[in-house]
């Protein structure tokens, strides 16, 4: 199982072993990682699973689609590293990836 590291805004680290095929949001929820709310259950409808990913990880990720880009308008502190965790399925290629979480979701 790929190992994903979630880092809260205050530096608290959560190392998670996640099965491939579920989203980064679902993996965080499964392991009770705080700061990923996922209020709408992964339907790209609210922006409460906003996270920051390293641009160097882009080859490991699906491209951002227009709906995800539009939904990020509802998130706080969006920048060029922002993604929605509900829209990123975990793959074996993500082993060792770091997901940083914002100070707040909404």
Q: Could you read off the pLDDT of 35-60 as tens digits, one per residue?
A: 787 666 667 878 889 999 999 998 99
Mean pLDDT throughout 10-34?
A: 96
Q: pTM to 2 decimals?
A: 0.92
Query: Looking at the domain that runs over 3-100, which CATH code has it been given?
Result: 3.10.20.30
Tokens 């993500």 correspond to: 94
Residue 84 near residue 9, CB atoms below 8 Å: no
Mean of pLDDT over the chain: 92
Over the stretch 91-106, which tens digit does the pLDDT of each residue have? 999 999 999 999 987 6
pLDDT at residue 38, as a whole number: 63
Where do the domains of the chain lie?
Answer: 3-100
What burial class does residue 38 get, using C-beta atoms within 10 Å of its C-beta: 0-12 exposed, 13-18 middle, 19+ buried? Answer: buried
Helix (H) or strand (E) holding 28: helix 24-30
Residue 17 near residue 3, CB atoms below 8 Å: yes
Residue 75 near residue 102, CB atoms below 8 Å: yes
pLDDT at residue 74, as a whole number: 84
């Amino acid at each position: 199982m790929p190992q994903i590291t979630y880092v809260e805004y205050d530096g608290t680290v959560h190392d998670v072993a996640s099965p491939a095929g579920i989203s980064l949001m679902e993996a965080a929820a499964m392991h009770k990682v705080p700061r990923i709310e996922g209020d709408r259950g992964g339907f790209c409808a609210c922006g409460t699973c906003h996270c920051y990913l390293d641009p160097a990880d882009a080859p490991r990720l699906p491209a951002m689609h227009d709906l995800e880009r539009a939904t990020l308008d509802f998130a706080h502190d969006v920048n060029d590293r922002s993604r929605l965790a509900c829209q990123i399925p975990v793959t074996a290629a993500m082993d060792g990836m770091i997901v940083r979480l914002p100070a707040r979701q909404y």
